[in-house]
Amino acid sequence: MVRRVLALFAALALSGCTAPPGPTAGASDTPAALPLDYGPIDTRLLGDDLVNFTLAMRGAEGPADLRAYGDCAAAQYALIRGYGFARHIRSSVTEDEGLWRSDAVYTISAAIPRGTQTLDAEVTVANCREAGIPTV
């Protein structure tokens, strides 16, 4: 009987306690991602089918964000020039104090080019619009 009474008092005493303030279960300690700030795109035609894009952005999580931005620019450029496809050749990416820069080269063509990094320009531009990524 004494044990039950002690257990009851302990339960009542603890029922008024609250957990110390802090993150809730499942909360993340990482800050919210910054919104993407797409900078200007400079385009330079290197040959009949070879194009260089330099671009910059803030809020990127890494090179993949710049690659997506470059793909969108290349796909739109291909459409502007009357072509249906683009293919990524190479990219170099740098980051300095949150400003990401990319220097990328793509080929553009009327027929689907050989290689694994090809872009169907119309499909890519539609996906870019849906994702809110600007094009040239």
Q: What is the predicted pLDDT for the residue at 87?
A: 97
Residue with tokens 């194009």: 51
Which pLDDT does position 117 carry in this prediction? 87
The residue ranges of every structural domain in the chain are 37-131
For residue 124, which phi and psi values (nearest 5 degrees)? -65, -45
- CA 80 to chain CA centroid, Å, is 24
Segments in the chain below pLDDT 70:
1-34
pTM: 0.74
Terminal Cα-to-Cα distance of the chain (whole angstroms):
81
The DSSP code sequence of 21-58 is: S-PPTT--SSPPPPPPEEEEEEEEE-SSSEEEEEEEEE
At residue 75, what are phi and psi to the nearest 5 degrees?
-65, -45
Q: Is 3.30.1360 the CATH number for 37-131?
A: yes
> For residues 50 and 2, what is the distance between their CA atoms, to the nearest angstrom?
88
> What is residue 24's predicted lDDT score, i.e. its pLDDT?
43
pLDDT tens digits for range 70-87? 999 999 999 999 999 999
Pairing assessment for the beta strands 99-109 and 85-96 based on DSSP bridges:
antiparallel
